[in-house]
Amino acid sequence: MPTEKEKMLAGEIYYAPDGELAAERIKAKDMTYDFNMLKPSKREERENLLRKILGKAGKNLWVESPFQCDYGYNIEVGDNFYANHNFLVLDPAKVTIGNNVFVGPNVGIYTACHPIDAKERLTFNEWAEPVTIGNDVWIGGSVTILPGVTIGDNVVIGAGSVVTKDIPSNCIAVGNPCKPIKSIS
């Protein structure tokens, strides 16, 4: 019988309040709390702690405070990653971010999914769908990226957009719902 964590990582329906998962969320929240309380001048300490939180991180990593996540180990970022203030990642599923990605302030990436039916929601069962962001992407301020979305390479997501579906490579995309409006090379 698979554990709730194994179900979560497999993209299956799982019981979110499970003891193991709850303990892992608390651990991640404690670590992000410690990260957020470090002075900005403590660059090396901040980066070292961030590397302990994240599942994988390339070179030239910088995340402004505050940063929050559910687990941390499901987040992978490539080289030259920058996230501005109030970066929130709900990561029961994998969040993969490529090289040379810049994230504006107040950006949320969500992988968690909940039942539409109110009675079913009361079971606290949920599932998660991965988010993938390619290389050379700029995500503007106050963007929301929903579960299951893939954003291609060389993309600009305009501020305030809500990304509900995949965005192809080499474009500027904006709006709610976010849609490509211009090709770029």
What residues act catalytically? 114
| Share of the chain residues as helix, strand and coil, in percent rounded to the nearest 5 | 20, 30, 45
C-alpha distances out from residue 158 to 81, 109, 135, 170, 181, Å: 18, 15, 16, 14, 10
Residue 173, both tokens: 């995309």
Cross-strand pairs, 128 = 112
| Sign of the dihedral defined by the CA atoms of residues 50, 22, 89, 74, in that order | positive
